[in-house]
Amino acid sequence: MPEKDDLPSIDEYGERLDKARPGSVAEQLQARAALNQSTALGKGIRIASELLAALLLAGALGYGLDRLIGTLPLFMLIGLFLGFAAGILNVHRAMNETDASLAEGGEEE
């Protein structure tokens, strides 16, 4: 364990913190806005990809079933409707997670 003399003083810690932080309040707000913007973009991409994945997967399964049975496009259309419903359900769940994290005061990971 280091000796007490080996540890930096409180003033040295303060100087190191000042160097690490953005200088002015405007810079701090600008950094926080950039972080929020990138987080919002990530959430939007997640929601879009969940909706698209559900649509494509259900549509492909319906198309495959149609090819096997020979009822083209019946099951593909049913699959697309079910995929859309599943995608909307996924979007709803993702938005509820976001609302819950905002209500707690934290940010979603």
Cα end-to-end span (Å), the chain: 35
Q: Average pLDDT of 91-101?
A: 88
CA 63-65-67 angle, to 5 degrees, is 70
pTM: 0.63
pLDDT for 22-59, tens place per residue? 667 777 777 777 777 778 888 889 899 999 999 999 99
CA distances to 53, 63, 72, 95, 98 from 84, rounded to whole Å, are: 10, 15, 19, 16, 21
In this structure, are residues 47 and 92 in contact, taking their beta carbons and an 8 Å threshold? no
* Whole-number Å distance between alpha carbons of 74 and 85: 17
pLDDT for 70-88, tens place per residue? 998 999 999 999 999 999 9
Boundaries of every domain in the chain: 9-104
